Structure 1
Amino acid sequence: MKRLLIIHRALAPYRIELFNWLFKQFDCKIYFEYGKPFEQTFKEDFLKERMKFEYDILPSGFAGIANLRLSLPSILRREKPDIIMCSELNLITAILLLFKRMNGNPPLIAMCDDNLSIAQHMLNHKKVNRYLLSSIDGMIGCDTRAIKLISDRLGNSLKMHYLPIVQDDRYIRLRMQSQLDRATKIRESHDIKSEDKCILFVGRLAEEKNLEYLIAQFGKLAQDEHHVHLMIVGEGALGAKLRHQSEQLTSSGRIHFVGKKEGDELYAYYAAGDMFVLPSKRDAFAAVVNEALIAGLPCIVSDIAGSVSMLNEHNGLSIDINKEDDLVHKMQKLLKSLTQPFSSSSLKPSLMPKTFDQYMIDLEQFINSLVQE
């Protein structure tokens, strides 16, 4: 069994199944740079319930430089990996590259969540990152547009693999199915009838999520569509401002702020929805789109987010947030296709283009192709 060393930023729920799979498939050692993600917090008991792997936390950066992890050389000598996998491109990548060249050149793969605009900025303005890209053996990206851009710039010097941020669809659908009674009560508590349509947003109530735009566009939609509701799941700095904005609309009674939800409670909200909208101004990927598609919700996603790469003619539409009323028009279009009423006994069919297992088979083939070279 090949020895795989993973250096990743932090543990988040949307990466657990990937690490579970890698831990099972390889002789795997996992180190996280930080104990928790900076952007948001998650319930530790919820994370541990799903984890089937062990991990350690890297010592802090030297002299206050976050990515200057001087413990890496000793870890690498001790673990003697056949493959190294890191997240993003930074000083840690450079340290790993130095070790790679001094110790038998084990393949180094970087996992990058960059969307198209981030990739464009990196290639145009960050010479160090361009050098790192040209020096590593492989890159796993989650935006097909970014992958194509990097491939076009670097030619065949870097092997690329597309892997969106995906979770185990079988596990999540089982959890969502178990929450259908709760989903029914959620709809009833907000006076959302089975024939009504519930548009769902899940995420932080932050400026980059563009929720003022979403609420304004829903207000226009609701003038003609009287059986449509907007459910906003999350919390954040803009909460009070967004509530005030919604109160000014005649449709305010159909806009529901429910706070942050996690675990089974969050799965119940996905099960209660009919459509998912992500109108972000800035978003590297947005893992919530994967969860929505698993729940069978067609998605409308800003063309800025990398998760737009998962959409096809059967499961959603992209929007240009700079195009006036594009979101209204796309919501109207999707609403016409939502002919089935809410069911309290069964989930909608998954709309993911591939299963988690299929993505993992492709990933294994990619990793093995690098080791065999």
Structure 2
Amino acid sequence: MLRILVALILCLACGLVTPGAAQPGRRKAAQDSLTAELEALRSQGYFNGFGVAIVNRKGTVYQHGFGFADVQAQKAYGVNTLQNIGSVSKTLVGLALLKAQELGLLTLDDPISKYLPFPVVNPAFPDVPITLRHLATHTSGIRDNDFYLSKNYFLQPGQNVAGMPMTFDDEQTFIPADSAVTLPVFLQNVLTPQGKWYQPKGFLARRPGELYEYSNVGAALAAYVVELASKQPFPDFTARYLTRPLGLRNSGWRFADVAFSRHSRLYQSPTVPLPYYGLTTYPDGGFISSVADMSKYLRELIRGYQGQGTVLRPESYRELFRPELAAGNFEKRNERNPYSESYNVGVFMGFGYTGFIGHTGGDPGVVTLLFFDPKSGIGRLLLINTSFSDKAGGATMYKIWDTLAKYQHRLGG
């Protein structure tokens, strides 16, 4: 998945503030003031639409949508507007792995070869098995090769794409739906030497488990193992054990699973709409959701960290949130932005250098942040439907994020 352009910004984000009590009148005044400040940031014109939330273990203390889900139709972006959430989707893969482990279907230290119908080995270390834990901590050695960007993003059929870009950021190509393949076919093609999209650079020349290398293909492969171990499609497994129990009624992995009329248009820039698209490797970034549903999900993560989650056992949540790596597992470690999942990682769960827990996401027309502070138990969520490629856009994004932090204590979070 395209990474959020955090490299453009040097730690502009503020820390979370410990909240205090707020009287109803003061709370309403704070909500109105926060809304006004965020609307002023939206009016700068960098993003067509976005939604935000502040969440604690009890629920959502603030959520709001701003701007437009569809500029041409003047359709407002609201808390129930849908869009894919980019790599924040990977956190659901982490929960799915741990739920499958609870059910006795697999263990994280199993070699993936135990489940796969085709061999996946690092050619530099053919006798060292790649495990599910390696996939979940991005230490498998699997890399995203050139075909990840050119064969993965497919157009939703039946739409008028006249005048819309068919490439994004000069790298990602939107291919016709009838050219797309299934997830297992894609994985076999990019990961096995006989595959037509296989490239030697698709694997690091490092022993599995040794080095952190963020891998979308690895995340999709982990979800495919859950599918094989559970003998049911991955979307069905997550619906049964995760999203339905959490009440995420308007979310899903496929357009067919959601009310498409609520889906936001995505934008390459404020003036350039993108076509609707799907991902062959959908588990790594294709979850479709809303601010309202993701607020419920964030609440569950906070409660899970505190030992009060509902979809996993306490010991599974401890494993989800346990930092797995050390400094020696990184060639380059992000020590400047507290909201990056690339300082440390649990089971597809990222940690910023200050300890904030969550994930970022980025895809064509998608920017997302979901993090909580384990000390205060307060989390924030941001979904944006417009890409940016400059420092001004990045600064505005973090200003939105910081503004949420500024108001947390006033909202009685």
- Greater helix content: 1
Q: With the length of structure 2 as denominator, give the TM-score of the two structures.
A: 0.21
For CA contacts below 8 A with separation 6 or more, give which structure has more relative contact order: 2
